[in-house]
């Protein structure tokens, strides 16, 4: 069972394993910490302290009513989480829109970020918002119907079902609708220069069959911006579920190279 850490306006459910340099794993939408279930053990076994939270308003991390669960707020809460744990510097590994929170953390406090690994993430204002338009406009009174639809749309694998199970039922569906409505690509639209200037060591990992965030228009420009290598992986968008062994190996290699 995860522990929990109270931050301003939310309670963060957290899995904390291993010992060594701290590594923060951030999920995106419509995910939760279970995205990393087949990757995190490999990193902790390799000698890292691995922190895997549910972002506020996702999974088992409740956010107060009326509090936005946008990615700028997530970045602030993640720093509060690190402060509560007494961790000054961390490597951040982030997927999907969780990479927006990671980029915002890097821009606001680059001295606290040892390294940045972005997996199938966002670039500037490219957040694949068209793919979640139906969720943003979903009738909240029918929220219980959302999770089964997502399972069919995203692939009904055991790993995907395990991750999405947190959003079953009326309350789970309402959390997803709230989270989708709070996503705002404008938060990263103009941070490119600051992100480049941070000079944080980075790597960009991408599923070669990503159907939401294309390699040529998102992955390559993002890698170029960061001055980072682009590593293609044998998966679709949800690479930590699709090819966890390859993701873990690439992340271990990246982490071992960090100063």
Tokens of 139: 């009738």
**What is the residue-level pLDDT of the chain in tens, covering all 259 positions?**
579 999 999 999 999 999 999 999 999 999 999 999 999 999 999 999 999 999 999 999 999 999 999 999 999 999 999 999 999 999 999 999 999 999 999 999 999 999 999 999 999 999 999 999 999 999 999 999 999 999 999 987 999 999 999 999 999 999 999 999 999 999 999 999 999 999 999 999 999 999 999 999 999 999 999 999 999 999 999 999 999 999 999 999 999 999 8
The ranges assigned to domains in the chain are 3-127+185-257
DSSP letters of 153-186?
HH---HHHHHHHGGG-HHHHHHHHHHHHHH--GG
Model pTM score: 0.97
Whether domain 3-127+185-257 has CATH 3.30.565.10: the reply is: no
């Amino acid at each position: 069972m995860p522990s929990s850490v109270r931050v301003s306006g939310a309670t963060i459910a957290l899995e904390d394993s291993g010992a060594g340099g701290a590594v923060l794993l951030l999920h995106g939408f419509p995910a939760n910490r279970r995205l990393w279930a087949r990757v995190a053990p490999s990193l902790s076994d390799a000698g890292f302290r691995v922190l895997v939270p549910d972002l506020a308003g996702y999974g088992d991390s409740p956010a107060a009513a009326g509090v936005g669960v946008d990615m700028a707020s997530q970045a602030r809460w993640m720093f509060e989480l690190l402060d509560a744990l007494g961790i000054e510097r961390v490597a951040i590994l982030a997927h999907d829109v969780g990479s927006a929170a990671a980029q915002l953390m890097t821009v606001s406090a680059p001295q606290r970020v040892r390294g940045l690994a972005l997996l199938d993430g966002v670039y500037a204002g490219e957040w694949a918002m068209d793919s979640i338009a139906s969720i943003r406009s979903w009738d909240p009174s029918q929220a219980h119907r959302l999770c089964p639809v997502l399972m069919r749309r995203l692939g009904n694998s055991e790993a995907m079902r395990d991750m999405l199970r947190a959003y079953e039922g009326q309350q789970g569906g309402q959390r997803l609708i709230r989270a989708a409505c709070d996503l705002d690509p404008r938060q990263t639209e103009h941070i490119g220069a600051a992100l480049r200037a941070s000079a944080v060591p980075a790597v960009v990992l991408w599923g070669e069959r990503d159907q939401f965030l294309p390699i040529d228009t998102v992955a390559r420009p993002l890698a170029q911006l960061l001055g980072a290598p682009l590593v293609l992986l044998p998966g679709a968008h949800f690479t930590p579920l699709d090819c966890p062994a390859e993701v873990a190996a690439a992340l271990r290699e990246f982490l071992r190279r960090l100063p």
